[in-house]
Structure 1
Amino acid sequence: MNSVVIIPARYSSKRFPGKIIADLNGKPVIDHVYQRSIQAELVDRVIIATDDRRIYKKVEGFGGQAVMTSSEHRSGTDRLAEVASELTADFIVNVQGDEPLIRPEMIDQAIKILKDSKDAEMATLASPISEIEARKPDRVKVVLDKNNLALYFSRSKIPYYREEDILDQNFLQHIGLYVYRKDFLLKYTELEPTPLEKAESLEQLRALENGYKIKVGITEHHGPGIDRPEDLKEVSKILKDNGGLN
Structure 2
Amino acid sequence: MKTAIVIPARFGSTRLPGKPLLDRTGKPLIQHVYEQAQQVKNSNQVVVATDDRRIFDCVAGFGGEVVMTSGEHETGSGRVAEAAGSLDAEIIVNLQGDEPEIDPAHIERLIHLHTNSNAFASTLACRFSHNAVSGAGSPDDTAAVKAILGDAIGEKTYWARYFTRYLFPVPRDTLGAIKTPSDYFLHVGIYAFFKENLMTFAGAPMGALEKVERLEQLRILEMGEAIAVAEIPAAVPGIDTPADYDAFVTRWSEGVT
The question of a shared fold, defined as TM-score above 0.5 by the shorter chain, is answered with yes
Q: Which consecutive residues of structure 1, in runs of 5 or more, have no partner in the other structure?
A: none
Of 232, 241, 244, the residue aligned with 1:219 is: 232
Distance 1:144 1:222, change over 3 A: same
Structure 2, unmatched stretches of 5+, are 153-157
Q: What letter is aligned with 1:32?
A: H
Specify the SS of the correspondent of 2:242: coil
SS in 2 for 1:135: coil
Of residues 138, 144, 147, the one that matches 1:142 is: 147
1:149–1:213 CA contact under 8 A, matched in 2 = yes
Q: For the aligned residues, what is the CA RMSD?
A: 1.4
**TM-score, normalised by the number of residues in structure 1:** 0.95
Identity %: 40
Deviations 1:106-136 (A, max 9, x none): 1101111111113x11110011113421111
Q: Match of 1:158?
A: 168
Q: 2:7 corresponds to which residue?
A: 7
Is 2:191 aligned against 1:178? yes
1:152 is aligned with what amino acid? Y
Q: Deviations over 1:147-171 (max 9, x none)?
A: 2111010000122222228855511
Equivalent AA in structure 1 for residue 238 of structure 2: G
Tell me, yes or no, if structure 1 residue 72 matches structure 2 residue 82.
Answer: no
Cα distance in 2 for partners of 1:31, 1:216 equals: 27
| Deviation sequence 1:53-88 (CA, Å, 0-9, x none) | 010111011110110000111111001111111122
- Cα distance between partner residues in 2 of 1:67 and 1:228: 26
Determine helix, strand or coil for the equivalent of 1:27.
Answer: coil
